[in-house]
Amino acid sequence: MRHRRASPRDRTRLPRLRRRAAALAVGATLGLGLANLAHPSAASAASLSSGAATVSSGTATGSQVHATASPATTSPGAAVHATVSSSTDGAPVYGNQYYLASATGAVWPLGGAPAYGSLAGVHLSAPVVGISTTPDTDGYWLVAGDGGIFSFGDAHFYGSTGNTHLAAPIVAMASTPDAHRYWLMGSDGGVFSFGDASFYGSLGGRGLAAARIVADPGGQGYWEVTHSGDVYPFGAAASDTIPRLALFHTVSSAGDRAMEWAMAQIGKPYQWGGTGPSSFDCSGLVMRAWQAAGVDIARIAADQYDSGTHVSLSSLQMGDLVFWATNPAQPSTIYHVAMYIGGDHTVEAPYTGAVVWTNWIGGSGFVPAGTRP
């Protein structure tokens, strides 16, 4: 059915959703203001120069700062095995706040995390490749593939590699605990330090594919993480445990593309029977999202349950459909559908009077299986 009827699940979550709706209407519609956005430029012995964004003529240019370009040939530390935190029974730990960023520069706050801005709608010279929060999580930086740095909230700009010719594209950044410095890392493992950050070594010249860099809690070292999941410590990181990591979304499947399309509709109103582009109902949103990914699915929520392969809740991936029903054991009674976006979150068009927003899975009437179109 296209229309979502009220249920016990609605009544228990209405206060939370009303609060989140107000926040989303202001900050998470992908039309966010560019808070503290600088068009970075930097000067140093390494001739580090302009940043990665083409912004409006009225946007202030970041002031020149000293940037230290550290060599990428220092011998790396010893490899250690990477581990992932989970609950005691091996299941993922849900309910955390985090930011999901896209190559387009869009930033989606999840789990109630505050919104500080994004690059959505800004023309970029290079795609965004990473996001890093400040230690107090009151701001974040986006980093582009050419090393351009964009700051939001209380994050500050200390320099960038800008349009400097690089041996390998920038793939990640990390800030120190005091947020007064940061490092950029190339895909070859080369490390560049900014602010008062020190250089402690790198994987440069080792022929390894680097994926991210994580600062040591004391700011006196860092870990470089390869695509294979191996972690290499430098400086004080050699004696510490790697902390929880932030997420950066890359499109590698139709489900990823569908999810990003649906997230771009956040803030648009719910309308019964709506299929876009200005308003949606629950099934209209997921139908259009999957069409944008090149996959046609059924129009009605109950029919969408059989528009693909059924998957267990423990196997959900981005873009998978999750459902609510009057009788969860009978798919014919399904009255609502949403799209899974990871971390126990969904994006959905909920009901009349609300807007497209992110929410949680579960609750009354939740169907114990999803569908992958």
From 60, 57, 38, 41, select the one nearest 49 (Cα to Cα): 41
* pLDDT score, position 92: 52
pLDDT of residue 349 exceeding 60, the answer is: yes
- Residue 215, beta-bridge partner list: 222
pLDDT, tens digit, for every residue of 8-25?
A: 333 233 223 322 332 222
Give the torsion through C-alpha atoms of 173, 239, 218, 116, to 10 deg.
40
Contacts of 22 (CB under 8 A, 6+ apart): none
**d(C-alpha 166, C-alpha 221), whole Å:** 23
Q: Is the dihedral of CA 56, 58, 64, 68 positive or negative?
A: negative
Backbone φ and ψ of 299, nearest 5°: -85, -35
pTM: 0.54
* Residue 316 pLDDT class (50, 70, 90 cuts): confident
* pLDDT score, position 337: 98
* Helix 254-263 and helix 282-292, axial crossing angle in degrees, nearest 10: 130
* pLDDT score, position 106: 93
Residues 212 and 245: beta-carbon distance below 8 Å? yes
Output DSSP code: residue 292: H
From 301, 292, 299, select the one nearest 265 (Cα to Cα): 292
Sheet containing 107-110: give its strands across. 107-110, 98-101, 247-248
From 333, 335, 322, select the one nearest 368 (Cα to Cα): 322
Can you tell me the mean pLDDT for 94-99? 74
Amino acid at 37: L
Candidate from 174-188, 286-300, 357-371 with smallest mean pLDDT: 174-188
From 25, 26, 60, select the one nearest 150 (Cα to Cα): 60
**d(C-alpha 373, C-alpha 366), whole Å:** 19
* pLDDT score, position 245: 55
* pLDDT score, position 259: 92
Can you tell me the mean pLDDT for 301-325? 94
pLDDT of residue 27 exceeding 60, the answer is: no
* pLDDT score, position 59: 25
**d(C-alpha 273, C-alpha 155), whole Å:** 42
Burial class (CB in 10 A: 0-12, 13-18, 19+), 222: buried
* pLDDT score, position 124: 92
Candidate from 6-15, 121-130, 212-221, 352-361 with smallest mean pLDDT: 6-15
Residues 356 and 334: beta-carbon distance below 8 Å? no
- Residue 173, beta-bridge partner list: 184
Pick 66 or 192 by higher pLDDT.
192
Can you tell me the mean pLDDT for 167-174? 90
pLDDT, tens digit, for every residue of 211-264?
A: 888 888 888 999 898 765 667 899 999 988 876 555 566 677 899 899 999 999
Q: String of b and e for 41-68 (b: at least 16 CB within 10 Å)?
A: bbebeeebbbbbbebeeeeeebeebebb
* Residue 75 pLDDT class (50, 70, 90 cuts): very low
Pick 48 or 266 by higher pLDDT.
266
From 364, 368, 367, select the one nearest 11 (Cα to Cα): 364
Can you tell me the mean pLDDT for 324-335? 97
* pLDDT score, position 97: 83
pLDDT of residue 87 exceeding 80, the answer is: no
Pick 104 or 28 by higher pLDDT.
104
* pLDDT score, position 110: 87
Q: What percent of the chain has pLDDT over 90?
A: 47
Structure tokens at 334: 């399904």
pLDDT of residue 98 exceeding 80, the answer is: yes
